[in-house]
Every structure is written in structure tokens, then in C-alpha cells.
């Protein structure tokens, strides 16, 4: 059992499952306090999500919707993870995601550009905003958390201002993408037909999974990834070894921002949602990416599953009976579970300490010598030789004096 507790992968899986279970239990207790009669049905509705529909085809279609929302969350979690592996905390993924929305929708609705140009614009916008934090960190030693928070709000209000030019005259929402520029919609390549002809299921889903695999390869199997992680572990040691820490800091933030920007393109270029130009808070997708990254054990492959789970329970919250609970109860339960996802590292630390408990370091120099042991055979000879050498030196010293 102790060997399993020492295994980092095992620690991550157990800690993640424990956080999920604790979150569901606390959510159930909240439902019990508010209205005991509907608590069981409420928590089951959250867990079931699209399985709440009796019609299999309808369930399949809404399963596609959950996957559509999972793709951007995977990208935001990869954004947070990539920076964290390099020793930085990218709390600006929300702002980078926001400017990615701005760039993709403006190129699609104002400039009528095709989907691949809009997607590249979203990636570039996220990278540029993140680069600002990277440059400030590298050359001015400005904490990236502070600069990212400031840029989050700058990005939000800049997005509201710019997308006002492409919004409907009778509502605060941008023009529907499917009606105004169908060429800007990400291609489906037949994936939609697998989910009961869900038009929102696009190549964003397989692309997000592919990018997660690529990020894992880059971080774990390449010299470039090794340098980034080395700077994250100890920047002074990495600098002593000849690594350019300033360059690595900027490059890390650029890649991190590009991932968040790509997530915005993966979602808004499906036409699933329109941006509301009166939005007064930064998109939660970026902050949920922090929880998904830690719930996935800070592993790019793990973020695929953790992102799906978080999106699953978030979507499942909409099926809670609103006649028994207020409309905000689904968001409350989801936020409790997401919040507890941040305790994965704490639980891993507890397991690591438990595995190390009782272990003692044995010094073999003072271990008892057993008869027949190689040490037992050679030790007396070594002791005798040492004694003879000491006597000879003493005798020689006496003659010289």
C-alpha cells in the first residue's frame, strides 16, 4: 500500500476522486438544508446531466453540447497548467480567453473572414495579452498574478467596446454567427451526425484533445519542455546552467495565452453562444480552467477528463427542479464542487506524508556485522592494517624527534 501511496499518478487519481466525492456530499447537504424532500433527486439530476432525458437520441444531442463546452475548458486548463509547470500562475487565462472571443467574433462578423483566420486571430490575441505579463515579469519583476488580474478587466471592457460594432440593434448580443457568416463556423467533418445531427459539434473537440497530447509531449519529452520546467523548479539554477530565464518566462506566457485564446475560438466559432456586450464580469471559463488543471493532477492528459467532469456537473445543474430550489442553486452546487477541486494538491501532500511516516534512514556504516558477510571477512583485515600503519607512523615520528 505504501508503494501505491508513493506513486504520483495514484496520488493524483485518489486525490481527484476524493475531492469530487467530498464536493458532491457537501452539495447534497446544502440541498438537504434548503429542501430535504428534493435533495436526492436534485443531486442525481446534477450527476446525470444529459441522462435526465428518457429519449436516447435527445440525450445524445445534449451530450454533444456538453462536449462542445468541454473543448474550451480543456484549452483554458492547459493554459493554466503550462504556465504553472514553468513556475508561474496564469490567473489571466480568463482575460486571454476574453480577448480571444473579441478577436474571433470581430474577424468573423465585421471582416467576414473564414474560420481558420478567425481562429488564428483568437490565438494571436491571447498570446499578445499574455506576452505583456511575461515581459513585465521578465524585465520589471512584476508579479504575473497582479498584471494578469489587471489585464483581465482591460480585456473585458475592450471586448465589450469593440464588439458593440457587431451587435444586434435590439439586444446587447452580437449577431448570430451561423446567419451572418457561415464560413466562420468551425467545420464539423461529420462529427455532428454522431450526436443526432448536433450542429455545434465541430473539430474543436478532437483538436483540443490533440493539443493536450502535444503539450504533454512538449513538457515531458523535449529539451524545450525540460528547460521550461527547470526554470519553474529553480530559476537561479537554470540560469547558472546557461538557460535564458527571461526568454523562457516570456515564451511560457505567450504559449499559455495562445492556448486560452484558442479555447475562445473553439467555443464561439461554433455559433453555440453570442457575446453579450453588457457583460460586467470576466468569463468563468478561464477561472474554471484553474480548477480543471489541479483536478487533473497538473497532467495534460488528466485535464481532458477533469475538464469534462467539471463541464458535466455544471451542465447537470440546470436540470435541478426549480420549483423546489431557486435558479441559482445549480450554480451554487457546481461552484462548491469546483472549489474543492483546488484541494487536490493538499490531499496528495497528505498521502505523501502518510507513505513516508515510519520510514527510517539506516546508516550501513554502523550496521551489525554478520558472520560470513563480505564485510565481516574484510573488516578485521582493514582494522589490523590501519593499526599497523598508525604504529609505524608513530615510530617514525619518534626517531625524527
**Residue pLDDT, tens place only, 228-244:** 888 877 777 777 778 88
User: Average pLDDT of the chain?
Assistant: 84
pLDDT at 375 over 70: no
pLDDT value for 313: 86
Distance of alpha carbon 101 from alpha carbon 160, whole angstroms: 10
Residue 399 has pLDDT above 60, yes or no: no
Whether residue 202 has pLDDT greater than 50: yes
- Please give the average per-residue pLDDT across 344-349, as a whole number: 76
Q: Binning pLDDT at 50, 70 and 90, where does residue 4 land?
A: low
**pLDDT: is 23 or 373 the higher one?**
23
What would the mean pLDDT of 120-135 be, rounded to a whole number? 96
pLDDT of residue 389: 57
Does residue 377 surpass a pLDDT of 90?
A: no
Torsion angle of C-alpha atoms 187, 311, 349, 298, degrees rounded to 10: 10
Q: Looking at residue 361, what is its pLDDT?
A: 47
Res 182: pLDDT:
92
Rounded CA gap, 334 and 327, in Å?
A: 13
> What is the dihedral angle through the alpha carbons of 384, 385, 386, 390, rounded to the nearest 10 degrees?
100
Q: What angle do CA 59, 61, 64 make, to 5 degrees?
A: 110
Q: What pLDDT shows up at residue 363? A: 47
> Which of 134, 166, 151, 87 has the alpha carbon at shortest distance from 286?
151
Confidence check: pLDDT of 131 > 70 = yes
Q: Greater confidence, 5 or 290? A: 290
Instruction: Please tell me the distance from the alpha carbon of residue 35 to that of residue 84, in angstroms, as a whole number.
Output: 41
* Tens digits of residue pLDDT in 238-295: 777 788 888 999 999 999 999 999 999 999 999 999 999 999 999 989 888 998 998 8
* Interval 384-393 mean pLDDT: 52
12 pLDDT exceeds 90?
no
Averaged over 301-327, what is the pLDDT?
A: 86
- Asked whether the predicted pLDDT for residue 301 surpasses 90, the reply is yes
pLDDT tens digits, 50-98: 877 888 888 898 899 999 999 999 999 999 999 998 889 999 999 999 9
Percent of the chain with pLDDT over 70: 86
pLDDT at res. 328: 74
Residue 385's pLDDT is 53
Backbone angles phi, psi at 310, to 5 degrees: -60, -40
How sure is the predictor about 114, in pLDDT bands with cuts at 50, 70 and 90? very high
pLDDT category, 362, cuts 50, 70, 90? very low
Identify the burial level of 98 via C-beta atoms within 10 angstroms of its C-beta, where 0-12 means exposed, 13-18 middle and 19 or more buried: buried
User: Average pLDDT for residues 318-342, to the nearest whole number?
Assistant: 77
Amino acid at each position: 500500500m505504501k508503494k501505491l501511496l508513493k506513486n504520483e499518478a495514484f496520488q493524483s487519481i485518489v486525490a481527484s476522486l476524493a475531492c469530487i466525492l467530498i464536493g458532491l456530499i457537501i452539495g447534497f447537504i446544502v440541498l438537504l438544508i434548503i429542501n430535504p424532500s428534493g435533495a436526492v433527486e436534485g443531486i442525481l439530476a446534477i450527476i446525470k446531466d444529459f441522462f435526465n432525458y428518457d429519449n436516447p437520441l435527445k440525450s445524445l444531442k445534449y451530450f454533444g453540447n456538453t462536449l462542445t463546452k468541454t473543448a474550451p475548458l480543456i484549452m483554458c486548463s492547459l493554459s493554466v497548467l503550462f504556465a504553472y509547470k514553468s513556475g508561474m500562475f496564469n490567473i489571466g487565462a480568463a482575460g486571454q480567453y476574453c480577448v480571444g472571443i473579441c478577436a474571433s467574433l470581430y474577424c468573423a462578423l465585421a471582416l467576414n473572414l473564414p474560420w481558420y483566420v478567425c481562429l488564428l486571430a483568437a490565438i494571436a490575441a491571447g498570446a499578445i495579452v499574455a506576452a505583456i505579463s511575461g515581459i513585465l515579469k521578465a524585465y520589471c519583476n512584476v508579479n504575473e498574478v497582479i498584471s494578469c488580474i489587471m489585464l483581465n478587466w482591460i480585456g473585458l471592457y475592450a471586448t465589450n467596446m469593440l464588439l458593440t460594432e457587431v451587435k444586434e440593434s435590439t439586444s446587447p448580443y452580437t449577431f448570430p454567427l451561423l446567419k451572418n457568416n457561415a464560413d466562420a463556423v468551425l467545420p464539423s467533418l461529420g462529427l455532428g451526425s454522431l450526436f443526432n445531427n448536433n450542429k455545434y459539434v465541430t473539430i474543436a473537440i478532437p483538436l483540443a484533445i490533440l493539443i493536450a497530447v502535444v503539450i504533454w509531449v512538449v513538457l515531458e519529452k523535449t529539451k524545450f519542455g525540460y528547460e521550461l520546467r527547470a526554470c519553474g523548479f529553480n530559476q537561479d539554477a537554470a540560469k547558472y546552467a546557461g538557460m535564458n530565464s527571461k526568454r523562457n518566462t516570456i515564451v511560457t506566457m505567450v504559449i499559455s495565452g495562445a492556448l486560452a485564446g484558442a479555447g475562445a475560438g473553439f467555443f464561439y466559432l461554433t455559433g453555440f453562444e453570442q457575446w453579450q456586450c453588457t457583460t460586467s464580469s470576466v468569463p468563468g471559463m478561464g477561472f474554471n480552467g484553474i480548477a480543471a488543471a489541479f483536478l487533473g493532477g497538473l497532467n495534460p492528459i488528466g485535464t481532458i477528463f477533469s475538464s469534462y467532469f467539471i463541464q458535466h456537473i455544471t451542465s447537470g445543474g440546470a436540470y435541478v427542479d426549480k420549483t423546489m430550489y431557486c435558479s441559482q442553486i445549480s450554480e451554487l452546487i457546481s461552484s462548491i464542487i469546483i472549489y474543492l477541486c483546488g484541494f487536490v494538491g493538499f490531499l496528495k501532500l497528505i498521502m505523501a506524508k502518510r507513505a513516508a511516516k515510519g520510514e527510517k534512514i539506516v546508516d550501513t556504516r554502523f550496521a551489525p556485522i554478520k558472520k560470513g558477510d563480505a564485510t565481516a571477512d574484510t573488516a578485521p583485515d582493514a582494522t589490523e592494517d590501519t593499526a599497523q600503519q598508525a604504529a609505524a607512523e608513530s615510530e617514525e615520528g619518534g626517531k625524527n624527534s
